[in-house]
Amino acid sequence: MESLSRPLVSFIVPALNEEANLPPLFERLLLIGQKLAWPSEILVIDDASDDRTFQVTQEASARAAIIRVHRKPLPHGLGLAIREGLARAEGRVGIVVMADGVDPLEEAVPAFCEKILREDCRLVLLSRYALPGDARTIPASYKIFHAGFRFFTFRVLGIPLPDTTYAFRGFDVQYLRNLGLRSSGFEISPEITFRTFFSGGKIGEVAGRQTRRIRGKSNFSFARVAPGYSWVAIQGLGLRLRRAAPRR
């Protein structure tokens, strides 16, 4: 069994019924961790799965001590799982990793860490719009929704970032803990971006593209996320107005 030293990098993996996807993801993250210049941990937040997600992670933890698992209770929710992971992470750098393995981990993780540890970024986003062709990896149905949200982000909130919603990202753990995050679902990603931006935190970007999920189906649903995204958009507008209001 590997020994566990104090981690500097925490991979936070929200997982809902991902028993088939976790073993190959662990292999990738363990290899990345070996190549990083800093010690890391893999923190799986089992979102009350009804498959063997928890047991699979326990078995992996028995072989690699840097893997930890916490089973959160109902209700389900990506935002709730990320907030749970944020509270339990031991590293200075946090990286949200999707359990389905679609994220470009090998290319982006070292860049995330460098920007946070060397360039004093509080948040680092993966931008699928930075290089020509990367946006083609975004599902067509999602692009329509994303176009409207990007327009709102640019024109109404004045945030000059093209990809505020992709969950895969790196951040300063303590900084995010102090932001007062409230989201329970997928809308936590833009909430993190908006709150970091309007609190004056430095935000970096790394170019990259997502891949395709190999096993299972995504839990993302436009109908289900619409209320949360609308709430975060209103919240973002409030943050901008408060920042623009003259101080007395």
Total domains, the chain: 1
Q: What are the DSSP calls for the chain, one per residue?
A: ----PPPSEEEEEEESS-TTTHHHHHHHHHHHHHHSSS-EEEEEEEES-SSSHHHHHHHHHHH-TTEEEEEEPSSP-HHHHHHHHHHH--SSEEEE--TTS-S-HHHHHHHHHHHHHTS--SEEEEETTSSTTGGGGS-HHHHHHHHHHHHIIIIIT----S----S-EEEEHHHHHTT-----STTHHHHHHHHHHHTT--EEEEE-------SS-----HHHHHHHHHHHHHHHHHHHHHHHSPP-
Q: CATH number, domain at 129?
A: 3.90.550.10
The pair of structure tokens assigned to 130 is: 């930075």
Q: Could you tell me which of 65, 71, 55, 70 has the C-alpha nearest to residue 23?
A: 55
Split at pLDDT 50, 70, 90, the class of 4 is low
Look up tokens 């943050």; give the residue: 239
Listed in sequence order, the residues at least 6 apart from 138 whose beta carbon sits closer than 8 Å to its beta carbon are 128, 146, 210
Chain mean pLDDT for the chain: 93
* Contact status, residue 204 vs residue 125, Cβ threshold 8 Å: yes
99 pLDDT more than 80 = yes
Residue 120 located in a structural domain: yes
Mean pLDDT of the region 72-86: 97
What are 38-54's pLDDT values in tens digits? 999 999 999 999 999 99
Residue 1 located in a structural domain: no
1 pLDDT more than 60 = no
Residue, of 143 and 168, whose pLDDT is higher = 168
Residue 2 located in a structural domain: no
Rounded Cα distance, 105 and 113, in Å: 12
The pair of structure tokens assigned to 13 is: 């993996």
Neighbours of 221 (CB within 10 A): 10
Rounded Cα distance, 199 and 236, in Å: 11
The pair of structure tokens assigned to 215 is: 């096993």
3 pLDDT more than 50 = no
Residue 4 located in a structural domain: no
Rounded Cα distance, 92 and 7, in Å: 8
φ/ψ of residue 204, rounded to 5:
-105, 170
What is the percentage of the chain residues whose pLDDT exceeds 70? 93
pLDDT at 2: 43
Rounded Cα distance, 199 and 128, in Å: 24
Residue 137 located in a structural domain: yes
Residue, of 38 and 131, whose pLDDT is higher = 38
The pair of structure tokens assigned to 207 is: 């170019």
Query: What distances in angstroms separate CA 110 from CA 5, 60, 79, one per listed residue?
Result: 19, 23, 24
Domain span at residue 106 reads 9-244
